[in-house]
Amino acid sequence: MDALIMGCVICGLGGAGMYFGSMALLTQMTSERERPLFLNLVGNLVVGGVCAPVYLFLLPVLNPHPGQTIKRRAGEIDYIGVVLPCGLILSIGMAISFGGVEYAWNSGRIIALFVIAFVLLSAFLAQQILSIGTSVDNHKFPVPFLMSSCSLIVLFLEIACAATCVLVPVYFLHLYFQFVRANSAILAAILMLPFMAFHTAIAILSGWLVAEPVTMFHGTYLRA
C-alpha cells in the first residue's frame, strides 16, 4: 500500500508538470484564435502522445523573462496562493473519501475537515483579492483579469462545470462496473472506452468551435 501511495504521488507530480508545461508552451506558441483547438488536442491522450516528441524536442526554447536571475523569478511566485489551494483540495478530498466509509458523516473528524476546507477557501479568496504576499501581476488566480469581462466569467464557470461532468463520472464509473456489475478491473476499463472516446471527440469539436468568435459560446455549451 505504501508503494502504491508513493506511485500515485509520483504520477501526480509528473502529470501536473506535463499539463502545466504544455499549457505554457501552447500559450506562447499559438495565437488566441488557435489556442482553444490546440489545448483540446493536447488534452486528448492519443493525440497528445503522438505529438509528444514534437513539443519535447522540436519546439524552440522560449525565455519569457530574459536577463532575470533565478532568485528574482522565484521571488515572483505566489507561494501563499499555491499552499492554500493544496490544503483546500487535500481537506475536501479527505472529507469526501473518508466520510461514510471510515468515519460517519456527522463525526468530528469529517466535520473538522469540511470546516478547514471552508476556512482555507475563504483565506485563498481574500489573499487573491487583496494581493496578500504577492502582487497584482503575479496572482495564482487572475482575479482582475477574470473580472474584466462577463464573457470570461461565463467561460470560467462553464469550464468548471464541464470538468466536473467529466471527472466525476471517470472516478465513479469504474467503481460502478466493478462493485455493482461485478466486472473485473480490465473489463471496467474497456467499458469506459466509449465514454472517453465520446469525450475526446467532443473536446476537439468544442475547441474548434471556441476558436471561432461567432460560435464561441456554442463550443462551450457543447463541451458542457
The pLDDT of residue 29 is above 60 = yes
* Closest of 194, 192, 202 to residue 170, by C-alpha: 192
pLDDT of 118 reads 92
pLDDT of 199 reads 74
pLDDT digits (tens, 9 = 90+) for 37-73: 666 666 555 555 666 666 666 666 666 667 777 777 7
75: confidence class by pLDDT, cuts 50, 70, 90: confident
Give every CB contact of residue 165 below 8 A, 6+ residues apart in sequence.
Answer: 224
Whether the full predicted model's pTM is greater than 0.75, yes or no, is no
Residue 186, Cβ density class (10 Å: 0-12 exposed, 13-18 middle, ≥19 buried): exposed
Question: CB–CB of 143/129 below 8 Å?
Answer: yes
Question: Comparing 11-15, 37-41, 96-100, which segment has the lowest mean pLDDT?
Answer: 37-41
pLDDT of 83 reads 86
Q: What is the average pLDDT score of the chain?
A: 75
> What is the DSSP code (8-state) at residue 1?
-
114: confidence class by pLDDT, cuts 50, 70, 90: very high
pLDDT of 47 reads 59
Q: How far apart are CA 152 and CA 207, in angstroms?
A: 16
pLDDT digits (tens, 9 = 90+) for 164-217: 777 778 878 888 888 888 888 788 888 888 887 777 777 777 766 666 655 555
If one compares 151 and 86, the residue with the highest pLDDT of the two is 86
pLDDT of 112 reads 92
pLDDT digits (tens, 9 = 90+) for 117-155: 999 989 988 888 887 877 777 777 777 767 777 777 777
Question: CB–CB of 202/219 below 8 Å?
Answer: no
Question: Bridge partners of 99?
Answer: 103
Most confident range, picked from 20-34, 85-99, 123-137: 85-99
Beta strands in the chain (DSSP E): none
Helical (H) or strand (E) element with 70: helix 70-75
Query: What is the phi-psi region of residue 131: left when phi exceeds 0, alpha when psi lies from -120 to 50, beta otherwise?
Result: left
pLDDT of 6 reads 77
Q: How far apart are CA 213 and CA 203, in angstroms?
A: 17
